Amino acid sequence: MCVSKQGKMLSRMLFLAAPLVLAGCMSSGNELTEALQPGPDSYYVAMYGPMPNERFALPATDIRNVDPRFFRQQVDYHRNEKPGTIVVDTQNRFLFLVQENGKAMRYGIGVGRAGLEFQGTARVARKAEWPTWTPTAAMIEREPERNAQWAGGMPPGLQNPLGPRALYLFQGNQDTLYRIHGTSEPWSIGLAVSSGCVRMFNQDIIDLYGRVALDTQVVVLQNEPLMYEQRQMPESVRQQLEIQNRQQPVAQQPMAQQMEPVSEEYGYGRPVEAGAYGRPQIGI
């Protein structure tokens, strides 16, 4: 085969240029690499997709950084609660809706201070769609710029901390001050956070709300054996919370003095009357 001198030179130029072309691809390669990385399963993308027909059109929840174990899913269930019971496992950050034949629908949750101070059984005495939220006096004192404007109650909406649905738990006719609700902070699912009771992805609380009736029994478990390593606070969120705490430190008082009476719509705590953290233990 005959190859001209000009052809050899052209081949050599192409050979030398090839690494530069590849380097160019790699230099913009963050986008390329991200595009090649697998994202969440399309089944879950659809599950947590937008809900435009809600009273306030819900956007999709960004689940790209969510551990799949916190997605809504049917699982095997081996405890002995009867079907229809809600079981909250605060330690593992799961809520189970017990089903027939040894199954349960499992949801990921975030657990606030009030959620970690409650244990026992209750019933769903009230269900609310797009509820109002009222900050406590302590919350207003800590963050007046953010919360004082809602002293009379924050109207329902996408920024409301209760989200689109709330379940209110009673023991007999007495309000336990325990709530299961949505959240405007989906990053908090899987974490123990400073306020609230039990929070769920907005799409999940809507799903649960539609499955349960008034007087549904709720069992809240504390200190269950860990099934997984607990999720850690995202670094960006941790830094933001640290900044807020430095700017507006909480008074160094006993917890009984820090916690205020709860509002009708949303409870964060009440003064200590029994138990170490101000909430009577409700017997199973």
Q: What is the number of alpha carbons within 13 Å of residue 54 lying toward its C-beta? A: 22
Active-site annotation holds for 197: yes
What's the confidence (pLDDT) of residue 238? 63
pLDDT at res. 91: 93
Predicted local confidence at residue 99, as pLDDT: 98
Q: What angle do CA 229, 232, 234 make, to 5 degrees?
A: 150
Residue 86 has pLDDT above 60, yes or no: yes
For position 143, what pLDDT does the model report? 84
> Can you tell me which residue has the tokens 């379940």?
167
25 included as an active-site residue: no
Give the model confidence (pLDDT) of 67-78 as tens digits: 999 999 999 999
Domain boundaries, given as residue ranges, for the chain: 42-258
Residues in Cβ contact with 177 at an 8 Å cutoff, skipping those fewer than 6 apart:
114, 197, 262, 267, 269, 270, 279
pLDDT value, residue 119: 87
Which candidate in 2, 25, 78, 181 is catalytic?
Answer: 181
pLDDT tens profile 149-204: 999 999 999 999 899 999 999 999 999 888 999 998 888 999 987 666 899 999 99
Highest mean pLDDT among 96-100, 146-150, 248-252: 96-100
* pLDDT at res. 242: 58
Asked if the model's pLDDT at residue 50 lies above 80, the reply is: yes
pLDDT score for 102: 97
> How far from 201 is each of 61, 104, 260, CA to CA, in Å?
8, 18, 27
Q: If you average pLDDT over residues 12-32, what whole number do you get?
A: 43
User: What CATH superfamily classification does 42-258 receive?
Assistant: L,D-transpeptidase catalytic domain-like (2.40.440.10)
Size of the chain, expressed as the number of residues it contains: 284
Residue 80 neighbours by CB distance under 10 Å: 7
Q: Is the pLDDT of residue 277 over 90?
A: no
Q: What is the pLDDT of residues 206-251, one digit of tens each?
A: 999 999 999 999 999 998 898 887 777 666 666 555 555 555 543 3
Q: What is the pLDDT confidence band of residue 37, given thresholds at 50, 70 and 90?
A: low
Express as a percent the part of the chain with pLDDT over 90: 49
